[in-house]
Amino acid sequence: MPNTAKSTSIPPQDRLIVALDLPEAAAAKALVERIGDAAVFYKIGMELCMAPGFFELLAWLRGRGNKVFVDLKFFDIPETVARAVSALSEHGAQFCTIHGNQAIMEAAAKAKGNGLKVLAVTALTSLDRGDLDDLGFHCDVEALVLSRARRALAAGCDGVVSSGLEVAKLRAEAPRELIVVTPGIRPVDNRVDSDQKRVMTPARALQAGADYLVVGRPIRDAADPRAAAQAIQAEIAAALA
């Protein structure tokens, strides 16, 4: 499956997805308000799902005109995953994530409705070669990501979540229509957090072929989150120029 020309249909400002990895909805709202118009797209995940007000936060973000990525990595029997994805599609989110085998991915893709796009997780950015050995995957990370991407595409998923380190090889095989969302983005090269082992800078990830970049701590923990988001937006704009 040869790659086509780099996508230009995504507005540059939409390519930054800010991860709202916070313990409560009120803190997430406060961060969004501090960031202001420096970001359009936000990710809400498992931590917030365990706190009161998850769907109210989603509705609040949508009411502000923001886009929402619900990152819950649905993983259960296919029928249960299908019902969860179908229910989520009524809430106006743009993206959701799923885990699991071919049947799970196919069920999610069939249940997504019109507006929601389903992204299959390939390999978490917290995993390295040793972790895959422990989990019983007798292949390298790159081979696993490519295999998962092929299966996701065949199942009808809209895209994948992939570390930037595997994006270039993925793009060499996947059609341009396959959405690639890349977490583990750090604005400073060679910075590796203890729980993020496969990271990449915004410019390098985009040049490799990523469509969207997920950034959490470098914005959330910055003294000025708005300025941090603006700096990453500037790097994205320069990489796409």
Which ranges constitute the DSSP H helices of the chain? Answer: 25-35, 46-49, 54-63, 78-88, 102-111, 129-135, 141-155, 164-173, 202-208, 217-220, 225-240
| Amino acid at the residue 52 | P
Is 73 labeled as catalytic in the residue annotation? yes
Angle (CA) 220-212-225 rounded to 5° is 20
> Of 160, 167, 36, whose CA–CA distance to 95 is shortest?
160
**Rounded distance, CA 55 to CA 64, Å?**
14
> CA 125 to CA 139: how far, in whole Å?
16
Measured CA distances, 63 to 43, 89, 165 (Å): 15, 16, 35
Marked catalytic residue, from 73, 110, 117, 169: 73
In eight-state DSSP terms, residue 185 is: B
Tell me which residues are annotated as active site: 73
